[in-house]
Chains A and B, each alone.
Chain A
Amino acid sequence: MQDGGSRLMKAIVKVMLKEGVLDPQGEAIRHALGTLGFGGVEGVRQGKVIEIALAGEDREKARAEVEAMCEKLLANTVIERYEIEVE
């Protein structure tokens, strides 16, 4: 952090399909891993990671803000769940 400069926080949002929601892409990856000779792959789930650069220093406030972003846009809570990390 530079002197006098605004500080940046990074929020990392992980979005995954909920348990019980079939993940055809994960299944395809599992099959492909088997084809490549990787044994013992019992299951694969595919999700996405979203990194958000945030101005400010208040991590709690940032977390609440990112949670609102997840509810409103980043995740479809009908089928997806999300995890938030702020660093």
Chain B
Amino acid sequence: MHAGVIEFPGSNCDRDLAVAFEAVGARVSRIWHKDTGLPAGLDVIGIPGGFSFGDYLRCGAIAARSPVSRAIVDFANAGGYVIGICNGFQVLTETGLLPGALMRNAGLKFVCKPVGLKVVTADSAFTSRYEQGAEITIPVAHHDGNYTADPETLARLRGEGRIAFTYVENPNGSLADIAGILSENRRVLGMMPHPERAADPAHGGTDGLALFKGLEAVLEPA
């Protein structure tokens, strides 16, 4: 599996994400935001957490218009796998690859703690190594994770089984407790919690590792 990890000015989870990919045997290319092309032979792109461009204008808004984001959209539209975590999820909604938007947390506070998540669907490369309905623990760390979408979009996400994760206890006011959603072809995942921060026993938990293992199983079949 060849994974690309994007770096914007202000990204700060890029290294952790690369380490998590490497933990399941992936080769990782780090990709700078001004790059207009992607390395050949990429299987999956990771858009990391952080504060790209200082969260100016709206979280993820400037990053979503940078040259590399055009390449990411083309990659996804051609059937490529993309995972956006935290700020990466915000970037994905700003590009339009995922529907809805992430607003300021309802409690207005930055929330940084491990949270319980329910795996709503196991039907995706990202979630195939979890049991559907399982409860896992993954840390969140965000100020703008309050997912919102119009009623039609929510109905569609539900109807098509595209809600990947929900919060057991909603930390940010997110619509329908949504923590992560999938694209129509189930190959683009955006989520606010950080699976790469629960991928090694030294992190205090390893519930995030199955996400990377699931990708590896699909993209590097034994």
A interface, CB within 8 angstroms of B: 21-22, 24-25, 28, 72-74, 76, 78-79
If A76-B94, A78-B149, A79-B148 touch, does A24 touch B104 (CB 8 Å cutoff)? yes
Range class of the B interface residue count: 20 to 34
Residues of chain B with a CB closer than 8 A to A79's CB: 101, 103, 148
Pick from B65, B94, B106: contact of A22, CB below 8 A: B106
The answer to the question of B187 belonging to the interface, with a C-beta cut-off of 8 Å to chain A, is: no
Flag if B108 contacts A76 (CB, 8 Å).
Answer: no
Tell me the complex Cα distance, A53–B169, Å. Answer: 46
The answer to the question of B100 belonging to the interface, with a C-beta cut-off of 8 Å to chain A, is: yes
**8 chain-A/chain-B pairs, Cβ below 8 angstroms:** A24-B106, A24-B107, A24-B108, A24-B146, A72-B65, A76-B94, A78-B101, A78-B149
B interface, CB within 8 angstroms of A: 57-58, 61, 65, 93-94, 99-101, 103-108, 146, 148-150, 173
Residues of chain B with a CB closer than 8 A to A28's CB: 108
Residues of chain B with a CB closer than 8 A to A74's CB: 57
Q: Apart from A78-B101, A78-B150, A79-B101, what 17 extra A-B contacts exist at CB < 8 Å? A: A21-B148, A22-B103, A22-B106, A22-B173, A24-B103, A24-B105, A24-B107, A24-B146, A25-B104, A25-B108, A72-B65, A73-B57, A73-B61, A73-B65, A74-B57, A78-B99, A78-B100
Tell me the complex Cα distance, A47–B155, Å. Answer: 28
**Interface residues of chain B: helix, strand, loop or mixed (majority):** loop
- Chain B residue with the shortest CB-CB distance to A21: B148
Residues of chain A with a CB closer than 8 A to B101's CB: 76, 78-79
Tell me the complex Cα distance, A73–B58, Å. Answer: 10
Residues of chain A with a CB closer than 8 A to B108's CB: 24-25, 28
A50 to chain B, nearest CB (A): 9
Tell me the complex Cα distance, A25–B106, Å. Answer: 9
Flag if A76 contacts B106 (CB, 8 Å).
Answer: no
Residues of chain A with a CB closer than 8 A to B100's CB: 78
Across chains A and B, which 10 residue pairs bring their CB atoms closest together, nearest first? A78-B101, A79-B101, A24-B104, A24-B106, A24-B108, A28-B108, A76-B101, A76-B58, A25-B104, A73-B65
Residues of chain A with a CB closer than 8 A to B105's CB: 24
Residues of chain A with a CB closer than 8 A to B93's CB: 78
Tell me the complex Cα distance, A65–B169, Å. Answer: 44
Residues of chain B with a CB closer than 8 A to A25's CB: 104, 108
- Chain B residue with the shortest CB-CB distance to A20: B150
Tell me the complex Cα distance, A72–B99, Å. Answer: 16
- Chain A residue with the shortest CB-CB distance to B172: A24
A44 to chain B, nearest CB (A): 13
Residues of chain B with a CB closer than 8 A to A22's CB: 103, 106, 173
Tell me the complex Cα distance, A59–B57, Å. Answer: 25
Tell me the complex Cα distance, A5–B153, Å. Answer: 51
Residues of chain A with a CB closer than 8 A to B57's CB: 73-74
Residues of chain B with a CB closer than 8 A to A24's CB: 103-108, 146, 173
